[in-house]
Structure 1
Amino acid sequence: MAAATLRSVLRRNRLLPLFETCHLRDRLFFSSSDVAAAVTVCGTMSPDPHFMVEYLVNSCGFSHSEAAKFSKSLAHLRSTEKPDAVLNFMRSRGFDGAGIRKVISRNPSHLCVNVEKNLAPKFQFLRDLGLSESDIVDVILKDSAILRLDVHRSIVPRLEMWESLLGSRELVLKHLKKTRWFLSSTVEKRMHPNLKFLRDECGIPEERVSSVLRTHPTFILQKPESLRALVVRAEELGMLRHSQMFMSILKSLHMASKETLEAKVELLRSFGWSESEVFSAFKQTPSILSLSMESFRRKMEFLINEVGCVPSFIADHSSLLQYSLEQRVIPRFRVLEMLNTKGLWTRRGKFLSYVQLSNTKFMERIVLPYKEKVPELLDILRAGECEGK
Structure 2
Amino acid sequence: MAAAPLRSVLQRRNGLLPLFETCRLRDLLFFSSSVDPAAAVGGTISPDPHFMVEYLVNSCGFSPSEAAKFSKPLAHLRSTEKPDAVLNFMRSQGLGGAAIRKVISSEPNYLCYNVETNIAPKFQFLRDLGLSESDIVDVILKNDVILRLDVHRSLVPKLEMWESLLGSRELVLKHLKKTRWFFFSSVKKKLHPNLKFLRDECGIPEERLSLVLRSHPQLISLKPESLRALVARADELGMPRQSRMFMWILDALLMVSKERFEAKVELMRSFGWSESEFSSAVRKNPTFLSISLDMLRRKVDFFINVVGYTTSFIASHPNLLLLSLQKRVIPRFRVWEMLNTKGLWTRRGKFSYFVKLSNTKFQEKIVLPYKEKVPELLDILRAGAEQ
TM-score between both structures, scaled by the size of structure 1: 0.88
Which residue is equivalent to 1:81? 81
Percent of paired sites with the same residue: 71
Which residue is equivalent to 1:99? 99
Task: Report the CA distance between 1:32 and its aligned residue.
Answer: 4.4
Quote the Cα distance in structure 2 between the aligned partners of 1:169 and 1:327.
Answer: 37
Which deviations, in whole Å up to 9, do the C-alpha atoms of 1:190-221 show, x marking residues without a partner? 11111111111111111111111111122222
Task: Report the CA distance between 1:320 and its aligned residue.
Answer: 1.0
Q: Which runs of 5 or more structure 2 residues have no equivalent in the other structure?
A: 32-36
The 5 Å alignment of 1:231-310 reads 231-310=231-310
C-alpha distance 128-381 of structure 1, shift in aligned 2 (>3 A): farther
SS in 1 for 2:235: helix
| Contact 1:19 1:156 (8 Å CA) reproduced | no
Quote the Cα distance in structure 1 between the aligned partners of 2:356 and 2:93.
Answer: 49
Which deviations, in whole Å up to 9, do the C-alpha atoms of 1:324-366 show, x marking residues without a partner? 2233322322332232233210022533333333322232222
With 29-38 and 348-357 compared, the bigger mean Cα shift is at: 29-38
Q: Which amino acid aligns with 1:221?
A: S
Which residue is equivalent to 2:109? 109
Quote the Cα distance in structure 2 between the aligned partners of 1:362 and 1:13.
Answer: 47
| Contact 1:60 1:97 (8 Å CA) reproduced | yes
1:313 equivalent to 2:309? Answer: no
Q: Which amino acid aligns with 2:45?
A: M
Quote the Cα distance in structure 2 between the aligned partners of 1:247 and 1:241.
Answer: 8
Which residue is equivalent to 2:148? 148
1:25 equivalent to 2:17? Answer: yes
| Contact 1:26 1:124 (8 Å CA) reproduced | no
Which residue is equivalent to 2:59? 59
TM-score between both structures, scaled by the size of structure 2: 0.88
Task: Report the CA distance between 1:26 and its aligned residue.
Answer: 4.1
With 273-282 and 328-337 compared, the bigger mean Cα shift is at: 328-337
With 378-387 and 97-106 compared, the bigger mean Cα shift is at: 378-387
C-alpha distance 32-54 of structure 1, shift in aligned 2 (>3 A): closer
Which residue is equivalent to 2:29? 36
Q: Which amino acid aligns with 1:300?
A: V
Which residue is equivalent to 1:179? 179
| Contact 2:49 2:76 (8 Å CA) reproduced | yes
Quote the Cα distance in structure 2 between the aligned partners of 1:280 and 1:323.
Answer: 19
Quote the Cα distance in structure 2 between the aligned partners of 1:257 and 1:329.
Answer: 28
Quote the Cα distance in structure 2 between the aligned partners of 1:146 and 1:188.
Answer: 17
Quote the Cα distance in structure 2 between the aligned partners of 1:106 and 1:339.
Answer: 60
Quote the Cα distance in structure 2 between the aligned partners of 1:205 and 1:196.
Answer: 11
SS in 2 for 1:29: helix
| Contact 1:41 1:81 (8 Å CA) reproduced | yes
Task: Report the CA distance between 1:69 and its aligned residue.
Answer: 3.6
Quote the Cα distance in structure 1 between the aligned partners of 2:4 and 2:213.
Answer: 17
Task: Report the CA distance between 1:244 and its aligned residue.
Answer: 1.8
Q: Which runs of 5 or more structure 1 residues have no equivalent in the other structure?
A: 1-11
With 172-181 and 256-265 compared, the bigger mean Cα shift is at: 172-181
The 5 Å alignment of 1:117-156 reads 117-156=117-156
Aligned residues: 376
With 240-249 and 49-58 compared, the bigger mean Cα shift is at: 49-58
Quote the Cα distance in structure 2 between the aligned partners of 1:299 and 1:71.
Answer: 52
1:230 equivalent to 2:223? Answer: no
1:14 equivalent to 2:5? Answer: yes
C-alpha distance 282-53 of structure 1, shift in aligned 2 (>3 A): same
Which residue is equivalent to 1:213? 213
Which residue is equivalent to 1:7? none
Which deviations, in whole Å up to 9, do the C-alpha atoms of 1:292-326 show, x marking residues without a partner? 11220121122122211122211222121122223
Which residue is equivalent to 1:169? 169
| Contact 2:41 2:84 (8 Å CA) reproduced | no
C-alpha distance 214-343 of structure 1, shift in aligned 2 (>3 A): same
| Contact 1:13 1:164 (8 Å CA) reproduced | no
C-alpha distance 320-25 of structure 1, shift in aligned 2 (>3 A): same
| Contact 2:42 2:84 (8 Å CA) reproduced | no
Q: Which amino acid aligns with 1:77?
A: L
Quote the Cα distance in structure 2 between the aligned partners of 1:149 and 1:61.
Answer: 27
Q: Which amino acid aligns with 1:15?
A: L
C-alpha distance 163-353 of structure 1, shift in aligned 2 (>3 A): farther
Which residue is equivalent to 2:34? none
Q: Which amino acid aligns with 1:159?
A: L
Q: Which amino acid aligns with 1:212?
A: V
Task: Report the CA distance between 1:248 and its aligned residue.
Answer: 0.9
Which residue is equivalent to 2:386? 386
Which deviations, in whole Å up to 9, do the C-alpha atoms of 1:357-382 show, x marking residues without a partner? 33222322222222332344344434
Q: Which amino acid aligns with 1:361?
A: K
SS in 1 for 2:320: helix
Quote the Cα distance in structure 1 between the aligned partners of 2:89 and 2:372.
Answer: 65
Flag the structure with more relative contact order, 1 or 2, with Cα contacts below 8 A and sequence separation at least 6. 1
SS in 2 for 1:45: coil
Quote the Cα distance in structure 2 between the aligned partners of 1:106 and 1:320.
Answer: 43
Q: Which consecutive aligned stretches of 4+ in structure 1 deviate over 4 angstroms post-superposition?
A: 37-40
Q: Which amino acid aligns with 2:108?
A: P
With 163-172 and 61-70 compared, the bigger mean Cα shift is at: 61-70
Which deviations, in whole Å up to 9, do the C-alpha atoms of 1:237-289 show, x marking residues without a partner? 22332222111111111111111111111111111212222222112211011
C-alpha distance 160-36 of structure 1, shift in aligned 2 (>3 A): same
C-alpha distance 362-13 of structure 1, shift in aligned 2 (>3 A): farther
| Contact 1:281 1:318 (8 Å CA) reproduced | yes
SS in 2 for 1:25: coil
Which residue is equivalent to 1:333? 333
